[in-house]
Amino acid sequence: MNSRTVLAPDFRVADLGLASAGRHQIRLAENEMPGLMALREEFGPTQPLAGARIAGSLHMTVQTAVLIETLVALGARVRWASC
């Protein structure tokens, strides 16, 4: 029996070529979401969600991306399913 296991990627991206444009849109959305950005700034260093495992399923928008990145910045391990 072969002891090596080949794992599939942990994610699927429809068009990775759009990543830089998506990052730009996320940065714009961050400016429109001061509450989440304040949470990152205030609580990010203390990692209050360290050890938390959060799963979600919601349409992927730039606002959803800001939420996910905020959860990660606060220490959570996040898994997301979207269409």
The domain locations on the chain are 19-81
With beta carbons less than 8 A apart as the criterion, state whether 62 and 25 touch: yes
Angstrom CA distances, 44 to 6, 31, 49, 51, stand at: 34, 17, 9, 14
Please indicate, yes or no, whether the overall pTM of this predicted structure exceeds 0.75: yes
Taking a C-beta distance cutoff of 8 angstroms, is the pair 33, 56 a contact? no
Q: What three-state secondary structure class fits 58?
A: coil
pLDDT digits (tens, 9 = 90+) for 10-68: 778 888 999 999 999 999 999 999 999 999 999 999 999 999 999 999 998 999 999 99
